Amino acid sequence: MNLDEYLTYRRELVDKALDDMLPRDDNDATVLNEAMRYSVFAGGKRIRPILAMSAAEVVGAKPESVLPLAVALECVHTYSLIHDDLPAMDNDDVRRGKPTSHKVFGEALAILAGDALLSFAFSVLSSPGAERVYRPDRLLKVVGELAAASGPAKLIAGQVADISCEGKAVDEATVEFIVQNKTAALIRASLTCGATLAGGTREQIEILGTFGELLGTVFQIRDDLLDLEGDAAKLGKAVRKDQDRGKATFPRLLGKEKAKELMRRRLEAALETLKPLGQTAEPLARIGEYVGSRMS
Amino acid sequence: MNLDEYLTYRRELVDKALDDMLPRDDNDATVLNEAMRYSVFAGGKRIRPILAMSAAEVVGAKPESVLPLAVALECVHTYSLIHDDLPAMDNDDVRRGKPTSHKVFGEALAILAGDALLSFAFSVLSSPGAERVYRPDRLLKVVGELAAASGPAKLIAGQVADISCEGKAVDEATVEFIVQNKTAALIRASLTCGATLAGGTREQIEILGTFGELLGTVFQIRDDLLDLEGDAAKLGKAVRKDQDRGKATFPRLLGKEKAKELMRRRLEAALETLKPLGQTAEPLARIGEYVGSRMS
């Protein structure tokens, strides 16, 4: 398989679905719709939507068949970025190569655009008509997993720990907690929800969940290494900022080499996890390798 | 019926359910759980949960039977208050008689506590086991209505308009837009979701939705009048603040007397709407009268 073509085809599917589904200027909330679209279309690799589509393919469905889920995942991810970048949080001015939402639209609208994207994600999964395409029990399970992954026990718990540990001496368990909750939970949910919506078996869903959890760490360590070593132009965001701020990351805790070693071990374990799925999981394995070696 | 007893009984049910369901300190997110609980338990009349329970009773169910929905509604409402009070929005220091979330926990945690409550609302409606108690298609419909009411076309559109109209000359259509989206949409959804989850007919749900929409205006005008005439101690928040800020409200646009007249007309229409439901809708009628005359 050609990984570039594979990713490009699916990214284009997601981008078109996002453009089709996100609200347009058909009501009085023009500037809100603009703010939502600005951050969603400011770039992004669409990793989570692609993982959901690949998981659906593993269980025998077409990538197009889980597009509402793909859209919901990207909305939740973008909402989390908008809020993370706020002055009260990480106070970041640039993201995906563009000024962050609050720099363009002001703080109030950035908060509200994030809020709107979160609600909208759940709308997409439950809009009238969805239950004619998907089994209601599966949609409900997907809503539940997405709500849990983005909620107080996962994404937000991770973000709270991330902020409160800034500049402090932390241990490995704390960094693991942050990575698992802030990053891995939504990546895991992308895979399990994709497989669930497409009718995967419990065994398939469990394997994909374990893969997603391991891949989440790979993704985060690679992200942290890019903050240390990466090219700001390619990354579309400032580098060495997390380092300067004293963020609790594996590279900061263990040093770059040991963090790379941990990333490699998690990637190997992730690839090993996929073996029972056979040939159908090859794209996921290739995405895993890409996530661990990407330059942006 | 004794309205005080009716409201107290249901408010206690909701408060207990909130206490049972909201996350406790069983993970590392202690301060997050604290912040979520702080705002949820800072007072509040639980009007939306009670309306959901009363709607369920209209269609023949027990109030207890829709408690997860009642909890979800109060979480969405509380999240919207926490974010509305932020310095970047209304910059309110006191709410429900206590310092607002950002005054107690700081801005970052207030934003995150709001975010967490929104996701948590959807978790409550879709948690594993919910589909054994409720029909998945009904739960999914409720998720869809709650997501729509709290999303970019309703609650957030209203909040964006509310903020952007501050201090400006506005027309009646604009004030109507703000009231319908910022306030009435969630009150309407409380009633339709309560009836939907409890298995109401399409006709019953439609009547209750119309009642909710009208009641939403009554609620908001009463709120705006209390801002002008109310007692800060009873209200638990500063008065004349919306007025000083030039918020787009019916009393500011029409004057107090004409706004009161509009409120009375909407209340009468709301009560008229209930007639086909007969005696079972008496509690809703009484709640409507209370909403239009409350002193806090």
Chain A residues inside the 8 Å CB shell of B137 = 131, 136
- How far apart CA A56 and CA B10 sit, in angstroms, is 44
* A157 and B CB contact within 8 Å: yes
Q: Which of residues 207-266 of A touch B (CB under 8 A)?
A: none
Q: Which of B36, B6, B31 is nearest to B18 (CA)?
A: B36
Cβ-based neighbours of B17, under 8 Å, separated by 6 or more: B67, B68, B70, B71
Residue reference for tokens 């540990």: A165
Partnered with residue B168 across adjacent β-strands are none
The answer to whether the Cβ–Cβ distance between A112 and B156 falls below 8 Å is yes
Query: Is B155 within 8 Å of chain A by CB?
Result: yes
Backbone angles phi, psi at A39, to 5 degrees: -75, -35
Can you list the positions of beta strands (E) in B204-246?
none
* Residue from the list A31, A139, A147 with its beta carbon closest to the beta carbon of B122: A147
Residue-level pLDDT at B97: 86
Closest CA to A201 of A140, A136, A273, A277: A277
B109: tokens are 């945690």
Name chain B contacts of A125, Cβ cutoff 8 Å: 143
DSSP string, A35-63: HHHHHHTS----HHHHHHHHHHHHTT--G
pLDDT given for residue A163 in this prediction: 94
Within a domain: residue A213? yes
State both tokens at A256.
């770059």
CATH of the domain at B53: 1.10.600.10
- From CA A36, how far away is CA A19, in angstroms rounded? 11
Over its length of 296 residues, how does chain B's per-residue pLDDT go in tens digits? Answer: 899 999 999 999 999 999 999 998 765 668 999 999 999 999 899 999 999 999 999 999 999 999 999 999 999 999 999 999 999 999 999 988 899 999 999 999 999 999 999 999 999 999 887 878 899 999 999 999 999 999 999 999 999 999 999 999 999 999 999 999 999 999 999 999 999 999 999 999 999 999 999 999 999 999 999 988 877 777 777 778 887 888 999 999 999 999 999 999 999 999 999 999 999 999 999 999 999 998 88
Partner residues linked to A94 by β-bridges: A99
Q: Distance (Å) from the C-alpha of residue B237 to the closest C-alpha of chain A?
A: 21
Q: Is the pLDDT of residue A220 over 80?
A: yes
Instruction: Tell me the per-residue pLDDT of A77-91, one tens digit each, with 9 for 90 and over.
Output: 999 999 999 999 999
Rounded to an integer, what distance in angstroms lies between the CA atom of residue B122 and that of residue A148? 9
User: Which of A:170-209 have CB within 8 Å of B?
Assistant: 177
- Which A residues in the span 28-57 are in contact with B, Cβ-Cβ below 8 Å? 28-29, 31-33, 36
Asked whether the predicted pLDDT for residue A285 surpasses 90, the reply is yes
Residue A278 belongs to domain spanning: 3-291
Q: Residue B10: its pLDDT value, please? A: 98
Average pLDDT along chain A:
94
First to last CA, chain B: 22
Query: pTM of the predicted model, to two decimals?
Result: 0.97
Q: Collapsing DSSP states into helix, strand and coil, what is residue B104?
A: helix
Distance (Å, whole) CA B293 – CA A115: 32
Check CB contact under 8 Å for A89 and B109: no
DSSP designation for A134 = S
Rounded Cα distance between A193 and A145, Å, is 7
**Closest Cα partner for A30 from A38, A42, A19, A18?**
A38
Residue A25's H or E segment, with its range, is none
Residue of A28, A33, A133, A155 for testing the chain B interface, max B β-carbons within 10 Å: A28
**Do residue B23 and residue A153 have CB atoms under 8 angstroms apart?**
yes
Average pLDDT, integer, range A267-274 = 98
Three-state DSSP state, B100: coil
pLDDT classification of A26: cutoffs 50, 70, 90: low
Structure tokens, B231: 């007692």
Distance CA A174, CA B14 (A): 35
Tokens of A69: 């889920």
Whether residues A143 and B148 touch (CB distance < 8 A) is answered with: no
Residues within 8 A of A (CB atoms), B 78-97 only: 83, 86, 88-89
pLDDT of residue B129: 79
A152/B28 touch (CB, cutoff 8 Å), yes or no:
no
Which helix or strand (DSSP H or E) is residue A98 part of? strand A98-99
pLDDT at A28 over 70: no
Q: Between A29, A106, A118, which is nearest B157 by CB?
A: A29
| Type of residue numbered B65 | S
Select from A85, A123, A137, A202 the residue whose CB has the most chain B CBs within 10 Å, as the one to mutate to test that interface.
A123
- Using one digit for the tens of pLDDT, what is the confidence trace for A103-150? 999 999 999 999 999 999 999 999 887 878 899 999 999 999 999 999
- CB neighbours of residue B16 within 10 Å: 11
- The number of distinct structural domains making up chain B is 1
Q: What is the spatial distance between Cα A235 and Cα B200, in angstroms, rounded to a whole number?
A: 53
Q: Indicate the pairing of strand A98-99 with strand A94-95.
A: antiparallel
Cα separation, B266 vs B206, in Å, equals 17
Nearest to B220 by CA among B241, B248, B246: B248
Cα–Cα distance, A161 to A84 (Å, whole number): 13
Q: Is A296 inside any structural domain?
A: no
The DSSP 8-state label assigned to residue B154 in this structure reads T
Q: How far apart are CA A184 and CA A218, in angstroms?
A: 9
Q: Is the CB of A152 less than 8 angstroms away from the CB of B116?
A: yes
DSSP for B267-291 reads HHHHHHHHGGGGGGGHHHHHHHHHH
Q: How close, in Å, is residue A77 to chain B by CA atoms?
A: 13
B192 vs B214: CA distance, rounded Å: 13
B178 Cβ partners below 8 Å, 6+ apart? B158, B161, B162, B165, B248
Among the partner-chain residues B111, B139, B146, the one whose CB lies closest to the CB of A140 is B139
